[in-house]
C-alpha cells in the first residue's frame, strides 16, 4: 500500500517515521522529501505546491492516502484538486484552511461559535488601527492577517511599539500581501499549549498536548521563529496555575469548548474541516483561549507529538479513514506512550538570513533519540549540508520528561555544522513544574 507525503521538512520526516512505525510494509513516496525522509521513502522531485504534478503522482503510484504537510499547498487548494480527482487525501479544502490562512476569518468563526479567544478587530487603515490600540491599551498584539510563517505577530509592550508595528505592516509592507490587513488583539496572560486534533468535519481525536518554543534563544529571548523546540505531553490542567500529570481534563475542555464548536461553525459556513486542526491555546485563569488555529500538523510539535502518540487503531488507519470520508473510526483513541523533547538545530543567520551549504556531521545513532531532517540537502559530492532555516529537529524519547530532555540535549550538542544555533532549555517550564 502506498502513501504519498507532501512536503519536505521536519514535520514530514516525523510523519513518514510514524507511518513506518504503524505499518513497516507501507511504501512511502514523498514530494519533494529531504535526505532524512529518503531513508524511509522514495523522494520525487515535485514541489509541494505543484498541484498538477502532485495529482499525477498520486494517480501514477495509486496512493491509498496522501497526507499534506505544509500550509502552502492547502492554501493553494491541493485538497480540492485531489477530491475532484477522486483521490483520498488528508487535509482541509482551501476554504476550510482559511481558518489558518486568514486570521480575520478565524476570529469571526470563533466569535460566532462562542469559542474563547482574545478580543480583536481588523483594520486596513492606520488611524483606525491606532485608535483601537488606544482603546485596548498596552500590552497589545498586532498581527498581519495572512500567512507569514509564524513571524507576522508582534506582541507590543507599549502603545508606541504598536503604532510602529501597524506602520510597518500597513505602510512599510513588512509582510507583503499578508500584512495589508492587520488585527489588533487584546493581550492574553498565561501559558501556551498546542493541541493537534484529527478532525473529520464533525468529530475530533485530539493527540497528545505539546508546547512550542517560538523565541530563538534560551530563556525565551530573541526574535520569534517558526519554532525552536517542543515537548509532549504537557503537565497542565485546564486552568492557569493547575499542574496535572493527567492532561485528560485539559483535552476534554479544549474539545468541548474549542474544537467541537469550531467544527460546527465551519459546517454551518459550508466549509467542513477535515484533516488536522491545530489549536494554539493560552491557558488563562478562565481556561483555554485560542491564540490561533492552524490547518495542519505543527512544526516542530509534530516531531514531539507523533513519536509518543499511541493511536488506536493507528494513526495511519485513522488518517486513511478520514481521507476516504469515512470519519474517525468508532473507538479511536490516543494516549501518550512516554515523553518526547524536540530540540531544533537552526542554521547560522536564522531567522533573518539562514546560511546554506554548511556540511553537517551527525552523531552515532542512539536508541532514545531520533534526528528528523528539516532543512538539509545533499551537495554535488553527496555530502549532507544545511539547506534551510531550521536544519534538524532532534527528538529525545524516554519514560520520563527528564530522560527525554537529556537524550535530546545530548544529541543536539553532538550534531556538528558551522554556525549551529539551538536552545539547551527546551521544556524549561515542564522542568520548573518538577517533571
Ligand atoms: P501566532 O502566530 O498567532 O501563534 O502568534 C505568535 C505568538 O505570539 C504566540 O505563540 C504567542 O506567544 C504570541 N501571541 C499571539 N497572540 C497573543 C495574544 N493575544 N496574547 C498574548 N500573546 C499572544
Ligand atoms: N510551531 C508552530 C506552527 O507549526 O505553526
Distance 156 CA to ligand 1 centre (A): 11
Q: Residue 151 above 90 pLDDT?
A: no
Q: Which atom of ligand 2 is nearest to the CA of 150?
A: 5
Cβ–ligand 1 distance for 155 under 6 Å, the answer yes
Residue 77, SS3 per DSSP? coil
Residues 6+ apart with CB under 8 A from 3: 19, 26, 27, 28, 29, 63, 64, 65, 66, 67, 316
pLDDT of residue 176: 64
CA distance 78 to 49: 8
Q: Residue 332 above 70 pLDDT?
A: yes
Residue 359, SS3 per DSSP? strand
pLDDT of residue 173: 74
Buried b (16+ CB within 10 A) or exposed e, 367-402: ebbbbbbbbbbeeeeeebbbbbbbbbbbbbbbeebe
Cβ–ligand 1 distance for 138 under 6 Å, the answer no
CB 199 within 8 A of CB 266: no
Degrees, nearest 5: CA angle 21-22-23: 95
CA distance 433 to 430: 5
Specify the range with the lowest mean pLDDT, choosing from 9-18, 169-178, 190-199, 335-344: 169-178
CA distance 71 to 50: 13
User: Binning pLDDT at 50, 70 and 90, where does residue 178 land?
Assistant: low
Pocket test for ligand 1, best of 133, 155, 165, 298 (most atoms within 8 A of CB): 155
What percentage of residues in the chain have a pLDDT greater than 90?
91
User: Binning pLDDT at 50, 70 and 90, where does residue 419 land?
Assistant: very high
How many CB atoms sit inside 10 A of residue 115's CB?
22
Half-sphere exposure of 66 (CA within 13 A, CB side): 33
pLDDT of residue 180: 78
pLDDT of residue 175: 67
Cis peptide before 313 (omega within 30 of 0): yes
pLDDT of residue 177: 64
The three cell numbers of residue 193 are 499549549
Residue 354, SS3 per DSSP? coil
Cβ–ligand 1 distance for 305 under 6 Å, the answer no
CA distance 210 to 232: 4
Q: List the residue whose alpha carbon is closest to atom 3 of ligand 2.
A: 298
Give the DSSP H or E segment for 276: strand 274-284
Cis peptide before 32 (omega within 30 of 0): yes
Distance 381 CA to ligand 2 centre (A): 33
Residue 76, SS3 per DSSP? coil
In this structure, the strands spanning 339-346 and 229-232 are antiparallel
CB 1 within 8 A of CB 316: no
Half-sphere exposure of 384 (CA within 13 A, CB side): 18
pLDDT of residue 103: 86
Query: In the chain, what is the straight-line distance between the N-terminal and C-terminal CA atoms, in Å?
Result: 41
Q: Summarize pLDDT for 236-282 with one digit per residue, the tens.
A: 998 888 898 899 999 999 999 999 999 999 999 999 999 999 999 99
pLDDT of residue 224: 87
For 132-159, what is the mean pLDDT?
86
User: Binning pLDDT at 50, 70 and 90, where does residue 148 land?
Assistant: low
* Number of DSSP helices (H) and strands (E) in the chain, helices first: 14, 24
Query: Which CA distances in Å does 236 have to 9, 16, 93, 222?
Result: 29, 29, 32, 26
Q: Which residue ranges form the domains of the chain, and what is each CATH number?
A: 2-91 (3.40.50.20), 125-180 (3.30.1490.20), 191-432 (3.30.470.20)
Distance 212 CA to ligand 2 centre (A): 8
Residues 6+ apart with CB under 8 A from 430: 211, 231, 234, 235, 401
Prediction pTM value: 0.94
CA distance 366 to 75: 38
CA distance 172 to 144: 12
For 352-381, what is the mean pLDDT?
97
Residues 6+ apart with CB under 8 A from 63: 2, 3, 4, 29, 57, 87, 88
**Residue-averaged pLDDT of the chain:** 95
The three cell numbers of residue 8 are 519536505
**Among the bound ligands, the one closest to the CA of 151:** 1
User: Binning pLDDT at 50, 70 and 90, where does residue 394 land?
Assistant: very high
The three cell numbers of residue 373 are 531532517
Specify the range with the lowest mean pLDDT, choosing from 97-111, 141-155, 302-316: 141-155
What percentage of residues in the chain have a pLDDT greater than 70?
97
Residue 309, SS3 per DSSP? strand
Amino acid at each position: 500500500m502506498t502513501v504519498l507525503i507532501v512536503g519536505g521538512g521536519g514535520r514530514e520526516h516525523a510523519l513518514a517515521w510514524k507511518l513506518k512505525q504503524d505499518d513497516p510494509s507501507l511504501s512511502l513516496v514523498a514530494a519533494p522529501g529531504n535526505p532524512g525522509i529518503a531513508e524511509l521513502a522514495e523522494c520525487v522531485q515535485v514541489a509541494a505546491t505543484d498541484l498538477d504534478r502532485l495529482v499525477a503522482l498520486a494517480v501514477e503510484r495509486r496512493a491509498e492516502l496522501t497526507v499534506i504537510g505544509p500550509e502552502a499547498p492547502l492554501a493553494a487548494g491541493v485538497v480540492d484538486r485531489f477530491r475532484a480527482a477522486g483521490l483520498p487525501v488528508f487535509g482541509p479544502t482551501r476554504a476550510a484552511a482559511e481558518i489558518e490562512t486568514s486570521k480575520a476569518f478565524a476570529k469571526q468563526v470563533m466569535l460566532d461559535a462562542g469559542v474563547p479567544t482574545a478580543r480583536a478587530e481588523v483594520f486596513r487603515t492606520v488611524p483606525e488601527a491606532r485608535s483601537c490600540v488606544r482603546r485596548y491599551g498596552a500590552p497589545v498584539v498586532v498581527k498581519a492577517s495572512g500567512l507569514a510563517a509564524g513571524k507576522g505577530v508582534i506582541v507590543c509592550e507599549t502603545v508606541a511599539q504598536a503604532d510602529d508595528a501597524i506602520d510597518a505592516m500597513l505602510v512599510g509592507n513588512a509582510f507583503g500581501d499578508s500584512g495589508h490587513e492587520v488585527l489588533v488583539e487584546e493581550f492574553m496572560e498565561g501559558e501556551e499549549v498546542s493541541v493537534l486534533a484529527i478532525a473529520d468535519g464533525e468529530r475530533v481525536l485530539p493527540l497528545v498536548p505539546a508546547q512550542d518554543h517560538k523565541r530563538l534563544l534560551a530563556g525565551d529571548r530573541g526574535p520569534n521563529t517558526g519554532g525552536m523546540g517542543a515537548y509532549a505531553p504537557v503537565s497542565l490542567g485546564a486552568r492557569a496555575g493547575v499542574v496535572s500529570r493527567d492532561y485528560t481534563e485539559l483535552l476534554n475542555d479544549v474539545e468541548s469548548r474549542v474544537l467541537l464548536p469550531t467544527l460546527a461553525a465551519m459546517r454551518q459556513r459550508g466549509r467542513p474541516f477535515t484533516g488536522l486542526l491545530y489549536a494554539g491555546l493560552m491557558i488563562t485563569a478562565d481556561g483555554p483561549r485560542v491564540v490561533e488555529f492552524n490547518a495542519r500538523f505543527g512544526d516542530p510539535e509534530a516531531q514531539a507529538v507523533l513519536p509518543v502518540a499511541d493511536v488506536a487503531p493507528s494513526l495511519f488507519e485513522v488518517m486513511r479513514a478520514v481521507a476516504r470520508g469515512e470519519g474517525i473510526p468508532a473507538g479511536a483513541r490516543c494516549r501518550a506512550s512516554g515523553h518526547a523533547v524536540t530540540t531544533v538545530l537552526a542554521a547560522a543567520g536564522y531567522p533573518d538570513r539562514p546560511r546554506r551549504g554548511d556540511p553537517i556531521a551527525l552523531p552515532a545513532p542512539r536508541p532514545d533519540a531520533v534526528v528528523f531532517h528539516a532543512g538539509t540537502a545533499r551537495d554535488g559530492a553527496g555530502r549532507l549540508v544545511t539547506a534551510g532555516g531550521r536544519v534538524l529537529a532532534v527528538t529525545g524519547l524516554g519514560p520520563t520528561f527528564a530522560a527525554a530532555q537529556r537524550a535530546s540535549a545530548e544529541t543536539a550538542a553532538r550534531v556538528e555544522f558551522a554556525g549551529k544555533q539551538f536552545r539547551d532549555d527546551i521544556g524549561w517550564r515542564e522542568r520548573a513544574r518538577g517533571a
